[in-house]
Structure 1
């Protein structure tokens, strides 16, 4: 089957590579010529474990190719996945300008039946809007269907999730489209849910909002654990054994970030308000998440006093390990607060880079952990990169001005760090 994937960002690149792996002939379309040239050479423009290996494999096999030629790509493929960005607008809703442009391009350039499938995360009702945009752009009334097939990819685990999904959601109002969608996934072994496009669109938002809720619930519970001298990690272990709860997303820390949870929770709240419903639980989810990083900094301030003229080493920039994504990363909130309080800040991340943002110009971006921790008054750990576990923390202590470690991801054992001579503070460890 010949498939066109429009948009070669995180979702689009993963979608393209996985369908090539499943035996389809895939074309990746993007307006960014530099990005396309990189992909043609087998180089990803972002970090995702295992994905570049698939890219090299299928560029070499010929199963995947990349182009900026919209007309040829649209006319040459009957199945089209929309994988463009849907960033948040100032009002919290999803910005659909790129989705609309793609829909209009398809309408103008198609010459026969097309199945248009939305992979991008979009508000409920977008399938209907895409249908209208395509129809309005058509010069001749060629037949087409629009379906919803939301992605459920974890950054850092995208290849695993795409090749071994826990479920596939197919939202379609057309028997022809549904049959074609089922054939696309015929070799994938997992439950397939066939529903309406509106339901499929809501399933995506509802799933991410629920996972964000679990995170904020545990973060709020961690604050109680600190006051009651209880280890929140032991609480999470006990809770997670209940299959109705599960162990995932019960890790307390400094909050969630990334390109999905923050914008999807906000978009769902806004959609509810537009339908005269107040999602009060999700309002609280956002509030807890936006204040959780400050909770750890309050602990650090109690220990150090004023941050002014103190040297603070921030370890980890990405919102989670195994990605270079810093969008909405708690580390950036930590850094901005430290800078506002006149601290000297050094940063280290094994993969992620600081955004190009003027306030960050005063930071010392370090080549390794040793450089970041040299003469530091404290370390604030913001991302649980596995490499941080391999550090010789006894040697690192000798480099520091004061051996204080504030662990925003509860990565280390408090007793072990105390035994090495550190003042250690996690989140929800109790006394």
Structure 2
């Protein structure tokens, strides 16, 4: 593995294919570094919004960065226009999972096909997450498309939604996988100004780094949730356990928060993709299979625990607090809240939901859930509530007042956001993940005024 090559500190013309979370952030950040960037997408509404100065996704700092660098940014639906003056092409399209768990690479192939004959390019770079071995297949496809003299590179992204701009500009590392030294130097030069070390390696290793990092983080989350379940069975407190365990310098405290499990566009997809890659290679990745199964169970456990506490959910009104997969984003992909809402409805409950950022949703369980604008509206006459996203508004809420609005102040805190003894004082039967259930203080609870329905 080689270290960062010499930098020339020159500006480049970059074409970015894909104006989603990855492509839009990458394009904006490259423009911030002084490069001229054309971002191409196939969705007319998205490109029209960007051309008019609107930002179609929520990401802290992104709108300001796009505005600040508007003279260096162009947006187009035309692949030829994007490539015409480009030296470097970045492929940032999504690679959703197929029914078999493999990555759907159809959008990747569409971009490669659109580059046919663009032999002036200095390098074609894939930032999308792809299975190991995809680079070799793309290389062969590029050769067929008349791009045999254009180098290929893998430059995986390690940005987390909600802090993607910060992660891009101040990364733990920049990974560049390529067999071509000139392309490696060009991409290293492209990142000049980014505060982070650059690691150069072969394409297959670069592809594996991304999948490995996400799978290992997913493993830490599922392992912590397994320990949390043991804590519930033994009377231990997961907060004490993870704090002390995370102080071990060999382990660290990151991604050891017990809760409803991971969601979003990366961890679920990449974990399944790595498992599929192993299966396709004839290897049963048993540890990763367990990680995925534990994660799938977490939101279902939340519903079951609330059901046990309320003696059933049929006819109950349940307040679902938080819809996005994590705070600081409007992304609903693989959000645990979707499973929770679906399970609540399957048990016969009426779902009221609140979220400050989630887009209008009419798919699946959201079609029959009632979206409320405020927390008091969501909690009024509710028979129970579940915190699914750790929005700061929930930490700051007037929980004592909200308790008086509920039929039965039973709260399942799926993110361990609140403090058990404080919630007890506010009158709640408070359930959380890996911590002892806190019964409400009888003197303060309105619970007796609203007997549970049979």
The TM-score bracket by the shorter chain reads over 0.9
* 1:133-282 paired onto structure 2 within 5 Å: 133-138=141-146, 143-282=149-288
**1:50 is matched with which residue: 55, 61, 72?**
61
Q: CA separation in 2, counterparts of 1:113 and 1:161?
A: 28
1:83 aligns with 2:92: yes
1:122 aligns with 2:133: no
Unmatched 5+ stretches in structure 2: 1-11, 438-454
Confirm or deny: 8 A CA contact 1:152 1:161 kept in the other structure: yes
Q: CA separation in 2, counterparts of 1:331 and 1:253?
A: 12
Q: CA separation in 2, counterparts of 1:95 and 1:318?
A: 24
Task: Name the CA shift for 1:331/1:350 in 2 (closer, same or farther; >3 Å).
Answer: same
Q: CA separation in 2, counterparts of 1:72 and 1:353?
A: 32
**2:426 is matched with which residue: 400, 420, 424?**
420
* 1:345-364 paired onto structure 2 within 5 Å: 345-353=351-359, 355-364=361-370
Q: Which TM-score applies when normalising by structure 1? A: 0.97
1:67 aligns with 2:76: yes
Q: Which TM-score applies when normalising by structure 2? A: 0.92
Aligned to 1:332: 338
1:306 aligns with 2:312: yes
Indicate the larger mover: 238-247 or 407-416: 238-247
Structure 1 residue 359 displacement after superposition: 4.1
Q: CA separation in 2, counterparts of 1:276 and 1:94?
A: 17
Confirm or deny: 8 A CA contact 1:217 1:285 kept in the other structure: yes
Confirm or deny: 8 A CA contact 1:236 1:251 kept in the other structure: yes
Structure 1 residue 111 displacement after superposition: 4.1
1:403 aligns with 2:414: no
Confirm or deny: 8 A CA contact 2:33 2:192 kept in the other structure: no
Poorly superposed stretches of 4+, deviation over 4 Å? none
1:29 aligns with 2:40: yes
Confirm or deny: 8 A CA contact 1:75 1:111 kept in the other structure: no
What is the SS of the residue equivalent to 2:115?
helix
Q: What is the aligned residue count?
A: 426
Q: CA separation in 2, counterparts of 1:236 and 1:359?
A: 34
Q: CA separation in 2, counterparts of 1:142 and 1:237?
A: 53
**1:290 is matched with which residue: 290, 293, 296?**
296
Confirm or deny: 8 A CA contact 2:124 2:150 kept in the other structure: yes
